[in-house]
Amino acid sequence: MAKTSPGNCFEDFRIGQVIRHATPRTVTVGDVALYTGLFGARFAVQSSDAFAAAIGYPRAPVDDLLVFHIVFGKTVPDVSLNAVANLGYAGCYFRKPVYPGDTLTALSEVIGLKENSSHKTGIVYVRTTGYKQDGTPVLEYVRWVMVRKRDEAAPAPGDHVPRLPTAVEPNVLSEACPPLDIAAYDLALAGSPYRFGDYEVGEKIDHVDGYTVEEAEHQIATRLYQNTARIHFDQFSAKQGRFGRRLIYGGHVISLARSLTFNGLANAFHIAAINGGRHVAPLFAGGTVFAWSEVLAKAELPGRTDVGALRLRTVATNDKPCGEFPLKTGDDYDPAVLLDLDYWVLMPR
């Protein structure tokens, strides 16, 4: 009997199936440094122990998206090793901060299945929860992914598309943010004078800068998360596929876009939740990522006078600066759009 695993195909999943993922991962300051080297994020709370401690954290928390990617990476060998594409996210919210030294694990439940009309692939919906070593949930999200079938003639293992929330409710947005001493929040050190009250619904921000993605760095980043999806690493197999080359992990685009938002949103120090997201088009090495954001809504948080929440839509593009805020023409996305992400951030008041 073979001791290696080829990964799950679409017909291997069942609605209600619970998957406990390997391998526990202790997050270190080395991981944090490498993530900074790959994406260049400059948000003060995650960059400085001294800054974070002054406002009420015990030390600088791990970047929210690094937590997301590590938990996501745990799920790949079981959920998306044989994926064609990761399609989207919903109902994602951060429940507790993570610090260097914490160990993360992940558990997923299959909540939906839908075979595609080609009978070559199907869509798998999973709800994943990430936990600390003491069992405390730190992150919860739903994602859906297109997975290959092993046998086109195999019957579909289920047919159910779950109803998903369109937005995370504001009353849970501050779970991962301790009470803060905003008087100690140094706007000069943070890099921007603009607080929660300085942003208006409907305001659009061109983040100006661009990042060109190199082949080696996107693979290093994906290995950092222990994400084993073949499409990101195996050129021998990828050259026989639709695109003829390796795809860049969609989360890489999310992290690049988040880093770019510092120019215009430097005080948006915490991603509290991701309402929804769509990977509109694939990205390949050599492409340059630009981004712009729109303020969709503002929310005051129950019992909090220190921070408020902005609901943002951040759009990332490939090889197209965003001074004209490219998005859609009619119902169709601009050909340059890579990512359309709807999420909540917290800002000092």
What CATH number has the domain bearing residue 137?
Answer: 3.10.129.10
Q: What is the CA radius of gyration of the chain?
A: 20
What is the rounded CA–CA span in Å between residue 259 and residue 317? 14
- What is residue 242's predicted lDDT score, i.e. its pLDDT? 80
* Domain annotation covers residue 60: yes
Give the range of the structural domain holding residue 149, as residue numbers without chain letter. 12-156+165-348
* Domain annotation covers residue 194: yes
Q: Provide the β-strand partners of residue 339.
A: 279, 316
- What is residue 1's predicted lDDT score, i.e. its pLDDT? 57
Structure tokens at 310: 């902005």
* Domain annotation covers residue 137: yes
Q: Which residue has the tokens 């993570």?
A: 98
Residue pair 60/136 in contact (Cβ under 8 Å)? The answer is no
* Domain annotation covers residue 3: no
Give the CA angle between residues 322, 327, 328 to the nearest 5°. 145
CA distances from 237 to 82, 150, 241 (A): 12, 16, 7
Identity of the amino acid at 252: H
Residue pair 227/300 in contact (Cβ under 8 Å)? The answer is no
Closest CA to 267 of 165, 172, 199, 340: 199
Query: Across the chain, how many H-helices and E-strands are there?
Result: 9, 14
What stretches of 208-262 adopt beta strand conformation (E)?
211-212
* Domain annotation covers residue 5: no
Q: Is the pTM of this model over 0.75?
A: yes
Task: Return the C-alpha torsion angle 241, 244, 246, 251, nearest 10.
Answer: -70
Q: Provide the β-strand partners of residue 294.
A: 204, 313
Residues 95, 280, 269, 104, CA torsion sign: positive
SS3 254: helix
Exposure pattern of 13-49 as b/e (b: 16+ CB <10 Å)?
bebebebebeeebebeeebbebbbebbebebbbbbbe
- What is residue 161's predicted lDDT score, i.e. its pLDDT? 95
Residue pair 129/140 in contact (Cβ under 8 Å)? The answer is yes
- How many domains is the chain built from? 1
* Domain annotation covers residue 1: no
* Domain annotation covers residue 215: yes
CA distances from 57 to 96, 174, 195, 302 (A): 12, 13, 19, 20
Question: pLDDT tens, position by position, for the chain (349 residues)?
Answer: 588 988 999 999 999 999 999 999 999 999 999 999 999 999 999 999 999 999 999 999 999 999 999 999 999 999 988 888 888 899 999 999 999 999 999 999 999 999 999 999 999 999 999 999 999 999 999 999 999 999 999 999 999 999 999 999 999 999 999 999 999 999 999 999 999 999 999 999 999 999 999 988 999 999 999 988 877 888 788 888 788 888 888 899 999 999 999 999 999 999 999 999 999 999 999 999 999 999 999 999 999 999 999 999 999 999 999 999 999 988 999 999 999 999 999 999 9
What is the rounded CA–CA span in Å between residue 310 and residue 204? 13
* Domain annotation covers residue 4: no
Q: Is 216 exposed, middle or buried (0-12, 13-18, 19+ CB in 10 A)?
A: exposed
